[in-house]
Structure 1
Amino acid sequence: MGTSFNEQFDQHGAWRREFALRLKLLSEWLKDHELLDAAIQERLRRLESQVRSDKVMVAFVAEFSRGKSELINAIFFAGYKRRIMPASAGRTTMCPTELGYDAEVPPCLRLLPIETRLQPQPLMEWRLAPEKWTRVDLDVNDSAQLAQAFEKVAEVRKVTIDEAKALGFWHDDTPEDNPLPSADGMLEVPRWRHALINIAHPLLKQGLVILDTPGLNAIGAEPELTVNLIPQAHAVVFILAADTGVTKSDLAIWREHLIAEDQDADARLVVLNKIDTMWDSLSTPTQVQAQIERQRATSAEILGLRKDQVIPVSAQKGLVAKVTSDADLLAASQLPVLEKALGEGVMGQRQSILRSAVASNIADLRTEAGRALNIRRRDLAEQMIELKGLRGKNTSVIRHMRSRIEQEQRDFDVSGAKIHAVRSVHLKLLREVFALLGTTSLKAEMAELTKELRQPGIKLGVRRAYSLTFDRLRQALRKAQATSNEIQSMLTGTFRQLNAEYGFSLQPPKEPELSRFERDLELIERSHQQYLGVSNALRLAQPEFADRLVRALATRLRVVYESALGELELWNKASAAQLDAQLRERRRNFSRRLEAIERIQQAASGLDDRIAEIESQETAINELDTKLAELTGHLVAAPPVAAAGQPQLLRA
């Protein structure tokens, strides 16, 4: 069936490992040849971090009992030759469960008690407090122990109706969504709010993150899951049951939580699971297939998708087929078709985005390092002209040349004050930009939104409150862009003046494009506005729920603002590093010129020797430039993966 998702992920992991190695070698080479200034070092650090920490999140979303956990077992964990995620009949995953890998944390299952919903901190903050989670250590070599530990995500606890209300599982205004009380009037709710599983599974080690979500009621009660985690997933696999098709609750999840106009079409896959329930010994294979195709076409039409985005599968038979190595059953389960769609859609899209970002950053890095070489090349050319002009001249001319160089050096030292003044103005304007996008500004906006949402009664004006908040956030970004434009104009003028007065070759670094962060704001606003539908209007009447929603928003906005500030910091470092590099090279140039004059004064042969040295240095610079192009070229071109799946190492 072509390359499976697992195989494609292996190849992506091999590419990332090789890229990180090449980047490290480039960094060492730049350092060895004194080309590693602060801006280049920062760019290298970001590139390495971006590629090493690149995560691919696949969210599995469905109503209860659609076979999510079994599908995860079949695609990712069949190598254990048994079920790992709990997948028995009835409700299994009662809380959102993330599977990933962090080398800094030992293999474990961490569980956040459901009672934390009664406290104000957002989920992101709870992640930073590991001591508040219940931890179960895992033995990755014991599949039975793993499976037993993972059963904890299905645990429930009994609470009163008042407790259920406080936790967000009971709403008087929507009785049809409430859990059924037992004979003693108690209700079953999940024992845990969120689960984090950290294991060194080969795919998880390469950056895959799997998000297994519970049903509609649990999704709606946890705003961070709906407005943060699911919208940020690189792919969402929505699971239906083949025998029922799209039910009312399935459609509610799809419409309220999963429709996203901005998402790539291939990033939304619908799985028509349990097709084995339609395998009927009284029907011919052709008749069975026709039934499946009808259900597939109907589901696609209801959900507004292309038919090829609805993939019929039997997760249970696929898992059995992989465990028993039954090729015919695996083909009948159609699991390889889904794996191919995930591999080509999710991984193809993710690799394309990452490689595009990498290529852009490497091109900038190449320009910055090449500029340093050009400064050296120009200084050598000036020295060569100067020295050749001394041929056949007497001692007094050479002495006069020395005086002139020393005067140039004194004049140049005076330029330091002017450069310091430029930096002061530059940093003052930069501080204004940082204030617009800083934590204080964001907290003020969130406090204003919280105040609006805490108005008594049902929030009929909640959408307007959100719209006004996002309008102000966009205005702050545009103001920051306008100030950065002002800084760029100032830098351009100053660099031009310094180039004319002191013979520099300064070029203003590429200005940060903050407008792309407006696009991020638009996506966040859309996911929140979608969540603010009529079904959640009643929930928003509860102040604690509105607070939780604002905290979820603040968590996601902080990421956007930090990214924007990171771009500005890199831009600032690039301009400062360029000035530092040219000042440093110019001082070296004065030293070399004075040294050359001294040697010429001491020996008649010194002039020819020095000219030969400069010619040799020019050749060395050309060789460095060629090597720089080769090393950066290796990074931009996606390195081929070796046949054995191991990265081919750079031969430097």
Structure 2
Amino acid sequence: MSRSFNQQFDQHGTWRRNFAHRLKWLSGWLNENELLDQSVAERLRDLESQMRTSKVMVAFVAEFSRGKSELINAIFFAGYGRRIMPASAGRTTMCPTELGYDVGVPPSLRLLPIETRLEPHSLTHWRDETARWTELPIDVNNADELAETMHKVAEVNWVSLDEARALGFWSDDNTEDNPVPDADGRVEIPRWRHAVLNMPHPLLEQGLVILDTPGLNAIGAEPELTVSLIPQAHAVVFILGADTGVTRSDLSIWREHLITEGDPGEARIVVLNKIDTMWDILSTPAQIDAQIDRQRKGAAELLGVPLRQVLPVSAQKGLQAKIRRDGPLLQASRLPALESVLGEGLLGKREMMLRGAVDNGIAALRTEAARILNVRQRDLSEQALELQGLRGKNVSVIRHMRSRIEQEQSEFEGSNARILALRSVQGKLLREVYAVLGSTALKSDMGKLAAALKKPGIKFNVRKTYAETFDALRNNLREVQATSAEIQQMLHATFRQLNAEHGFTLLAPAEPNLKEFEEQMSMIEQSHTQYLGVGNILKLAQPEFCDKLVRALSSRLRVVNEAAMSEVERWSKGAGAQLDAQLKERRRNFGKRIEAVDRIQQAAGNLEERLVELSAQEAGLVELHRRLRELTSLLTSNEPPSTSAAQNNELRAA
């Protein structure tokens, strides 16, 4: 029997927590043995934070009355024994609703008033403006109270046509999607622009984020949903009615908001909901199955997806079966099959990405820690040879050796000027990188796009405008890549010189590859220009809509640029931290050598004692090498989570 999404997510959460524990233990062991430089320590912190806090977003998208909220109830909230998300006939979820958990925020439902659309700010901006949200505390142990609070997301306002037009819910040019006015000429619009539920649900605590979106008209009126939130979801569940199949409005949502050129669509799951409407007592089970299969094939052909990604289900019967613990009804609802596909595809992909990040981070850490150990081994061997040469020598020879060590130390410290010059040039080039990718430069590029979009009239050349903007953004990344190559050449030359002069083992870290961020830019461009189809030409004639579009785009592009800058900064810090580590080891080595000579000067017998100590330290370094390989292997092994307890015990034993 397939595992439910809840079971798979629970196992995924256990796996992540175990990895975070192992990382923490390894960090402590490295720190105790002075094997952590600044960049490796930062990488470890990033990995641990990623494991503990990385989110998995599932977006549920559908036109009104497809049973979307009921499906969320069935998959995630059946344990409450009742519906939590509002789910009834007609339009229920009127505003986009995010469900997640932040341990630093009290359990609550936060609601952003629809009137914020009149102000020139994106959703990203409003997230930090807590004073503008209406916050309602929730009691997660009281299902009735929680459900009542969640009904707030369905609240509406009745406004004049002028107000509806200003807020983006009425179009004089594209009248098909307009709401129907009442007898007084008013129309119904959502009361809230966005809702965020923060609650310690077991799955939400483990990093799941659920995005419940309203229908086509509301999605189109909030561009940030289309160009930011939905494209960044790790999986999109698109719900159709099994009785109606793919309607014209379903097809509009799919083509305008969910499909992008070049996107393989593997993270798109199509759900044919309400198959219970086909459970006809006058038809045999085989006839019912054949009818469902025809609807599946028709939907797959119309949407252009593989048949395996179209899953029939009855959310209402699935929820009912879970509450009543009715096994046969649960199987008949086909909900377990959907949960299995959702869990295996979504969580498997996420786990693979996290494993890749861990493997890369641990490989870099192991290399750097091993380099420090090799430097220590070499220094110990040199000390042993130096001290062995003192056997049988008189006091003046020993005194002369001390003077020579002090002279070496002085010459070594004199080379710091070259190192400071390297850091100065490196800092200057990095400032150039930040100038190219920083918020000021992005604001300038977005300003040009906004100016082009605000020109009067219908913009038939909008795709060309976007192409020029994204070409400029990609060129910025290429300019940074060229600057990085310039820094890399300088590092190679300086490191070679320092290695030759001081016997260092410096190796410039691999240059950051910004191609990944160029590809992200292209994906954003594709999703955005796909959205700018013929259906939106009239909306693009509205300055307010263009403003929203550019603000939403800016928010997403800022994330890409900041990630690229972080990659360059991490690479630069890696080079600097490696140099700092070897400078530290060399200074410690000078101190140890002078200390050894002083001890020998005070008592001749200390020479042999010191040689024995060095031999013991060398043996200790061999053991540290072995433990480093062993402990890092525990983190990169592909063993299942059930073995993690024993592995954690091994880390503690270290």
Normalised by the length of structure 2, the TM-score is 0.98
Distance across 1 between alignment mates of 2:59 and 2:471? 30
Match status 1:116 vs 2:138: no
Question: Do the aligned residues in 1 keep the contact of 2:18 with 2:644 (CA within 8 Å)?
Answer: no
C-alpha distance 70-203 of structure 1, shift in aligned 2 (>3 A): same
CA shift for structure 1 position 262? 4.9
Counterpart AA for 1:232? Q
CA shift for structure 1 position 481? 0.3
CA shift for structure 1 position 264? 5.3
Query: Which residue is 2:602 aligned to?
Result: 602
Q: How many residues align?
A: 652
Question: Do the aligned residues in 2 keep the contact of 1:15 with 1:639 (CA within 8 Å)?
Answer: no
Mean alpha-carbon deviation: is it higher for 383-392 or for 405-414?
383-392
Match status 1:140 vs 2:140: yes
Counterpart AA for 1:18? N
Distance across 1 between alignment mates of 2:313 and 2:647? 34
Match status 1:266 vs 2:266: yes
Distance across 2 between alignment mates of 1:647 and 1:70? 41
Question: Do the aligned residues in 2 keep the contact of 1:110 with 1:133 (CA within 8 Å)?
Answer: yes
Distance across 2 between alignment mates of 1:535 and 1:610? 83
CA shift for structure 1 position 646? 12
1:354-410 Cα offsets, whole Å, 9 max, x none, are 111111111111112222111111111111121222223333332322222111111
Distance across 1 between alignment mates of 2:282 and 2:3? 35
Counterpart AA for 1:175? T
Question: Do the aligned residues in 1 keep the contact of 2:12 with 2:351 (CA within 8 Å)?
Answer: yes
Distance across 1 between alignment mates of 2:247 and 2:566? 45
Counterpart AA for 1:26? L
C-alpha distance 319-187 of structure 1, shift in aligned 2 (>3 A): same
Distance across 1 between alignment mates of 2:646 and 2:216? 42
Distance across 2 between alignment mates of 1:361 and 1:422? 26
Question: Do the aligned residues in 1 keep the contact of 2:259 with 2:527 (CA within 8 Å)?
Answer: no
Question: Do the aligned residues in 2 keep the contact of 1:15 with 1:647 (CA within 8 Å)?
Answer: no
Distance across 2 between alignment mates of 1:524 and 1:19? 32
Counterpart AA for 1:125? H
Question: Do the aligned residues in 1 keep the contact of 2:296 with 2:312 (CA within 8 Å)?
Answer: yes
Equivalent residues in 2 for 1:372-521 (5 A)? 372-521=372-521
Query: Which residue is 2:68 aligned to?
Result: 68
Equivalent residues in 2 for 1:121-520 (5 A)? 121-263=121-263, 265-520=265-520
1:414-463 Cα offsets, whole Å, 9 max, x none, are 10111111111111111111111111111111111111111111111211
Q: Which runs of 5+ in 1 are unaligned?
A: none
Counterpart AA for 2:10? D
Question: Do the aligned residues in 1 keep the contact of 2:259 with 2:265 (CA within 8 Å)?
Answer: no
Question: Do the aligned residues in 2 keep the contact of 1:74 with 1:319 (CA within 8 Å)?
Answer: yes
Find the residue that maps to 2:243 and give its secondary structure. Answer: coil
Distance across 2 between alignment mates of 1:639 and 1:576? 35
Question: Do the aligned residues in 1 keep the contact of 2:112 with 2:133 (CA within 8 Å)?
Answer: yes
Question: Do the aligned residues in 2 keep the contact of 1:14 with 1:647 (CA within 8 Å)?
Answer: no
Question: Do the aligned residues in 2 keep the contact of 1:107 with 1:139 (CA within 8 Å)?
Answer: yes
Q: Which runs of 5+ in 2 are unaligned?
A: none
Query: Which residue is 2:43 aligned to?
Result: 43
Distance across 2 between alignment mates of 1:634 and 1:130? 43
Mean alpha-carbon deviation: is it higher for 105-114 or for 569-578?
569-578
Counterpart AA for 2:423? R
Mean alpha-carbon deviation: is it higher for 633-642 or for 34-43?
633-642
Distance across 1 between alignment mates of 2:208 and 2:95? 20
CA shift for structure 1 position 651? 3.4
Distance across 1 between alignment mates of 2:348 and 2:55? 14
CA shift for structure 1 position 608? 1.1
CA shift for structure 1 position 36? 2.2
CA shift for structure 1 position 529? 0.4
Find the residue that maps to 2:210 and give its secondary structure. Answer: strand
Query: Which residue is 1:98 aligned to?
Result: 98
Question: Do the aligned residues in 1 keep the contact of 2:25 with 2:652 (CA within 8 Å)?
Answer: no
Distance across 1 between alignment mates of 2:637 and 2:79? 33
Find the residue that maps to 2:538 and give its secondary structure. Answer: helix
1:527-557 Cα offsets, whole Å, 9 max, x none, are 1101111111111111111011100011001
Distance across 2 between alignment mates of 1:30 and 1:235? 38
Distance across 2 between alignment mates of 1:350 and 1:188? 40
RMSD: 1.5
Distance across 1 between alignment mates of 2:645 and 2:301? 41
Find the residue that maps to 2:290 and give its secondary structure. Answer: helix
Question: Do the aligned residues in 2 keep the contact of 1:495 with 1:508 (CA within 8 Å)?
Answer: yes
CA shift for structure 1 position 631? 2.1
1:184-207 Cα offsets, whole Å, 9 max, x none, are 111001111111001100000000
Counterpart AA for 2:149? A
Find the residue that maps to 1:642 and give its secondary structure. Answer: helix
Counterpart AA for 1:450? A
CA shift for structure 1 position 645? 11
Distance across 1 between alignment mates of 2:393 and 2:652? 49
CA shift for structure 1 position 172? 1.1
Distance across 1 between alignment mates of 2:353 and 2:548? 32
Match status 1:651 vs 2:652: yes
Counterpart AA for 2:132? K
Equivalent residues in 2 for 1:7-18 (5 A)? 7-18=7-18
Question: Do the aligned residues in 2 keep the contact of 1:641 with 1:648 (CA within 8 Å)?
Answer: no
Distance across 2 between alignment mates of 1:308 and 1:639? 29
Distance across 1 between alignment mates of 2:391 and 2:169? 92
CA shift for structure 1 position 316? 0.3
Question: Do the aligned residues in 2 keep the contact of 1:373 with 1:621 (CA within 8 Å)?
Answer: yes
1:581-600 Cα offsets, whole Å, 9 max, x none, are 11111111111111111222
Query: Which residue is 2:555 aligned to?
Result: 555
Mean alpha-carbon deviation: is it higher for 112-121 or for 418-427?
418-427
Match status 1:613 vs 2:613: yes
Query: Which residue is 1:583 aligned to?
Result: 583
Distance across 2 between alignment mates of 1:324 and 1:606? 81
Distance across 2 between alignment mates of 1:262 and 1:513? 22
Question: Do the aligned residues in 1 keep the contact of 2:477 with 2:514 (CA within 8 Å)?
Answer: yes
Distance across 2 between alignment mates of 1:646 and 1:240? 46
Distance across 2 between alignment mates of 1:46 and 1:155? 41
Find the residue that maps to 2:384 and give its secondary structure. Answer: helix
Question: Do the aligned residues in 2 keep the contact of 1:18 with 1:639 (CA within 8 Å)?
Answer: no
Find the residue that maps to 1:346 and give its secondary structure. Answer: helix
C-alpha distance 647-364 of structure 1, shift in aligned 2 (>3 A): closer
CA shift for structure 1 position 629? 1.9
Normalised by the length of structure 1, the TM-score is 0.98
C-alpha distance 647-394 of structure 1, shift in aligned 2 (>3 A): closer
Find the residue that maps to 1:245 and give its secondary structure. Answer: coil
Mean alpha-carbon deviation: is it higher for 133-142 or for 622-631?
622-631
Mean alpha-carbon deviation: is it higher for 285-294 or for 18-27?
18-27
Mean alpha-carbon deviation: is it higher for 225-234 or for 500-509?
500-509
CA shift for structure 1 position 353? 1.0
Mean alpha-carbon deviation: is it higher for 450-459 or for 236-245?
450-459
Mean alpha-carbon deviation: is it higher for 262-271 or for 627-636?
262-271
Question: Do the aligned residues in 1 keep the contact of 2:634 with 2:647 (CA within 8 Å)?
Answer: no
Question: Do the aligned residues in 2 keep the contact of 1:14 with 1:646 (CA within 8 Å)?
Answer: no
